[in-house]
Homo-oligomer: A and B are copies of this chain.
Amino acid sequence: MNEITQILNFIVEVEKLKSVIRKTRPVGLRRYENSAEHSWHVCLSSLILKDYANDPVDINQVIKMLLIHDLGEIDADDKIIYSSETVENKLNEESGIRRIFAILPQGQADQYLSLWHEFEAGETPESKYARAIDRVPPLLHNLHDNGHSWKKHNIPKEKVFSLNRRRISEGSHQLWDAIEVRLIKAVKDGLLN
């Protein structure tokens, strides 16, 4: 099979991310978000928020990471963040990501697998910032949707504050400050208990 055919097969395979359903609803919509449109949203968000990263970041590396960060969900499905960070789920996602990248020519497969590992490890300035941005739209969804997903999944405010404080402030203190004000108001308004 020639390489361009392999790549076109990959383009068709990753369509499946459009049917991976997440746990929050886009602002103004009654349906749940899918992981493909989420991926676009976080890529664009990372671009326009880049000046707020704690450390200087290579924004192109951040965007590439966010373009592929959820592809493992095609096989592993989306799990709510507050219970997704289990060894079993991470192994399922890794096995999924390996299967999908194996559709690509070898050199590309290795390169994107390494990018996915960088995101998951969250140790570089780029992956810390990317992981911070990944949290922003779902919080905005809850804030604009009467805390729908927090309430539906019984997520206590302590968990929402602790996970997001850690994740977002590792990438951007300024962004966490802006979000924290909104979360405090959400508690006061009864959206988050």
Contact = CB atoms under 8 A, between A and B. Distances in A.
A120 to B, nearest CB: 18
Nearest to A172: B4
Nearest to A61: B60
Interface in A39-57: 39-41, 43-45, 47-49, 52
B45 A18 contact: no
Interface residues of A, number: 46
Interface of A: 4-5, 7-8, 10-12, 14-19, 26-29, 33-34, 36-37, 39-41, 43-45, 47-49, 52, 59-60, 63-64, 67-68, 104, 108, 136-137, 140, 144, 174-175, 178
Contacts of A41: 11, 14-15, 18, 36
B11 A140 contact: yes
A79 to B, nearest CB: 20
B40 A136 contact: no
Given A48-B108, A68-B44, A12 B144 contact: yes
A41 B8 CA distance: 12
What is the interface of chain A mostly: helix, strand, loop, or mixed? helix
Given A11-B41, A48-B104, A67-B47, A18 B4 contact: no
Contact of A18 (B16, B26, B104, B136): B26
